[in-house]
Structure 1
Amino acid sequence: MSTLEIRNLHVSVETNDGPKPILRGVDLTLRSGEIHAIMGPNGSGKSTLSYAIAGHPKYQVTEGEVLLDGENILEMSVDERARAGVFLAMQYPVEVPGVTVSNFLRTAKTAIDGEAPPLRTWVKDVKAAMTQLRMDPEFAQRDVNHGFSGGEKKRHEILQMELLAPKFAILDETDSGLDVDALRVVSEGINRAHETTGAGVMLITHYTRILNYVKPDFVHVFVDGRVAEEGGPELAERLENEGYDRFLPAASA
């Protein structure tokens, strides 16, 4: 059982006009086997939370801690955070021309585990995961994200999650840009990785449609860089019916 504990997290982002505060004191605890949905309107700080945890250099933590089993990962480099068990599926995955998916995945697995996986077992695992995600076998020989469709990029992110088996997976709007069929396949992959590895999942999303497939244990509503409300799956249903208006300043004026 592992725990990812976010304590009083304040984060600013660099802009042309200087640092801009985004997160204003976030407290959240995620445990192995739990699925937490992070919801909220645009600009509320959801993606900033994911980047800060992963270690994006543009996002400056000005106060607070992020503890993984009691160790502050904010003191770690990005690769150390990955080896400690933190995985980020990016909203906009970057292209890496010249590096094939096959080489990328095995290099990443070797770096995280500290040793190369046995080749025969690894090839079998990769093929099985790709088949379940309905990915063409030729996909493994393509350059990472180069020329990929939006759905292919998102499937590749979940393929990484399944094969790298992190302690905690942060999924930043993995549902964005997916049609109904792709959403179902990606959701099945998330559920499969979650059930197989027992990973804790932080699922960041604007909409409730992915929550029809990936059932959250907890829902957190972000507004203006803070957690405005927390609850169970019923909170997502309420957001589906009412939207975010009641959390916004105009709603209380």
Structure 2
Amino acid sequence: MSTLEIKDLHVSIDTDQGTKEILKGVTLTIKTGETHAIMGPNGSGKSTLASTIAGHPRYNVTSGEILLDGENVLEMSVDARARAGLFLAMQYPVEVPGVTMTNFLRTAKTAIDGTAPSLRHWTKDVKAAMADLKIDADFANRNVNEGFSGGEKKRVEILQLELFKPKFAILDETDSGLDVDALKVVSEGVNRAQAEHQMGTLLITHYTRILRYIKPDFVHVFVDGAIAEQGGPELADRLEEEGYDRFLAVKA
């Protein structure tokens, strides 16, 4: 079992108006095999947490720790974090012109594992994963995300997740922009990854619809850069009924 620990994390960004604190003391522990859902209104710091874990240079950690099995994640480069077992499915996946999906996936897998996968087995695994995610086989020869629809980009994020086999996956609003059918396909991919190698999942979302397919063990409500409340799956149901007004009222 692996553990990802976030301890009293404070994060700021530099703006034209000066330094702005976004995360204001976040503490959270995730173990492999667990699914944690983070919910909250816009601007509450959910995506900042995801980007900070992944190592985005825009976000400055002013205090606190992020530990992966006791190792200080904040001292690792972005690629070292990936090799250690962290994966971020981005809210807005970027296009990479000139790099085919085939080359990208195998190069990334080689970099993460330290050795190139057997070509025969790798090709079989990629084809099977693409079929499961209902990604057309022709996409393997297309440039990464270039000309892909929003839903296709999100499926490709989960394709990487299934092939790279991280210890922990941070899914930053992976459900945004998906229709019902695509949502089911993406959720099934996440569930397969969890079942096959006990991956831990940090699922960031505004809505409960994805939680009908990816069942959370824990739900955390983010408000103004901190966890305002946490509980089990029943908390998500309450948020569906009541929204975030009661938390915002307390803040006001």
Shorter-chain TM band: over 0.9
Cα distance change of structure 1 residues 252 and 74 upon mapping to structure 2, 3 Å threshold: closer
Say yes or no: does 1:53 pair with 2:53: yes
Could you report, residue by residue, the CA deviation over 1:216-249 in whole angstroms, capped at 9, with x for unpaired residues? 000000000000001000000000000000000x
Equivalent-residue separation in structure 1 for 2:214 and 2:200 (angstroms): 13
Residue ranges of structure 1 left out of the alignment (5+ in a row): none
2:105 partner amino acid = L
Equivalent-residue separation in structure 2 for 1:213 and 1:115 (angstroms): 34
Say yes or no: does 1:170 pair with 2:195: no
Cα distance change of structure 1 residues 110 and 18 upon mapping to structure 2, 3 Å threshold: same
Tell me how far 1:252 sits from its aligned partner.
Answer: 7.1
The residue that corresponds to 1:94 in the other structure is 94
Equivalent-residue separation in structure 1 for 2:11 and 2:207 (angstroms): 24
Equivalent-residue separation in structure 2 for 1:179 and 1:107 (angstroms): 31
The residue that corresponds to 1:18 in the other structure is 18
SS in 1 for 2:187: helix
Could you report, residue by residue, the CA deviation over 1:124-160 in whole angstroms, capped at 9, with x for unpaired residues? 0000000000010001111001111000000000000
Cα distance change of structure 1 residues 128 and 229 upon mapping to structure 2, 3 Å threshold: same
> What is the TM-score normalised by the length of structure 2?
0.99
Equivalent-residue separation in structure 1 for 2:243 and 2:55 (angstroms): 31
The residue that corresponds to 2:142 in the other structure is 142
Could you report, residue by residue, the CA deviation over 1:179-233 in whole angstroms, capped at 9, with x for unpaired residues? 1111111011111111112110000000000000000000000000000001000
The residue that corresponds to 1:123 in the other structure is 123
Equivalent-residue separation in structure 2 for 1:197 and 1:90 (angstroms): 21
The residue that corresponds to 1:64 in the other structure is 64
The residue that corresponds to 2:247 in the other structure is 247
1:153 partner amino acid = K
Q: Once superposed, which parts of structure 1, at least 4 consecutive aligned residues long, lie more than 6 Å away?
A: none
> What is the TM-score normalised by the length of structure 1?
0.98
Say yes or no: does 1:33 pair with 2:22: no
The residue that corresponds to 2:85 in the other structure is 85
Percent identity of paired positions between Structure 1 and Structure 2: 75
RMSD of aligned Cα (Å): 0.9
SS in 2 for 1:61: strand
SS in 1 for 2:202: strand
Equivalent-residue separation in structure 2 for 1:83 and 1:95 (angstroms): 22
The residue that corresponds to 2:201 in the other structure is 201
2:190 partner amino acid = I
